[in-house]
Amino acid sequence: MRNWVNEWVQQGRLCVWRYADPRRGWRGWHLAADPVGCRSVRSLLDRMHGGDSCYRTLTLEPVTDAILSVPNYGGKALGRFEKLRIAYLPEFEELSLSPESEMLVMTVGPPRLRKLAAAFAEVEVGLGDFGIVTSDGRKAERWMFWWMLNENIRG
């Protein structure tokens, strides 16, 4: 049987960051990708959906001052991550992102996978400045999505 997840190859650019000293509305994770990067992540999520537990490790672009300027916040990024592991767990209900050593680990299950894919679809066509919640809990973390500067329609 063919393993579509293992055959996936990353394309495009993807950035993930947190701000060092965030004000209230700027806490949490921020994600940006160019259109090719968005399509690539969506392809991976589509391949994972409905299958067994699996993961793939992606390369992250450095978060530059230009990328940080897109949200018009002016803060500095907290830390530098070079890799992002996306882990799909069929029994997982939420969406999580946590640092583990030099890598970020994103865990997603079926209930949040489509919302995550839809967020990347919106960024792919030039939208941004929106968030998705990571669970149904009242105090769920919100991840913010941004267009990649000079890449998308709005950049």
pLDDT in tens, 13-62: 999 998 877 676 677 899 999 999 999 999 999 999 989 999 999 999 99
* Structural tokens at position 24: 């209230």
In a domain, 90, yes or no: no
In a domain, 106, yes or no: no
Q: Are the CB atoms for 33 and 11 separated by under 8 Å?
A: no
In a domain, 138, yes or no: yes
In a domain, 143, yes or no: yes
In a domain, 86, yes or no: no
Q: Say what the pLDDT of residue 97 is.
A: 95
In a domain, 103, yes or no: no
What pLDDT band is residue 155 in, cutting at 50, 70 and 90?
A: very low
Rounded Cα distance, 88 and 106, in Å: 9
Q: Say what the pLDDT of residue 103 is.
A: 93
Helix/strand/coil for 15: strand
The model's pTM is 0.90
CA distance to 3, 20, 25, 68, 125, per residue, from 34 (Å): 26, 24, 24, 14, 9
In a domain, 118, yes or no: yes
Query: Which residues are CB-contacts of 65 (< 8 A; sequence separation ≥ 6)?
Result: none
Domain residues for 20?
Answer: 4-51+61-80+112-147
Q: What is the pLDDT of residues 73-116, one digit of tens each?
A: 767 777 789 999 999 999 999 999 999 988 999 999 999 999 99
Rounded Cα distance, 59 and 10, in Å: 8
Rounded Cα distance, 75 and 132, in Å: 21
Q: Say what the pLDDT of residue 7 is.
A: 95
In a domain, 104, yes or no: no
- Overall domain count for the chain: 1
Q: Which residue type is seen at 145?
A: F
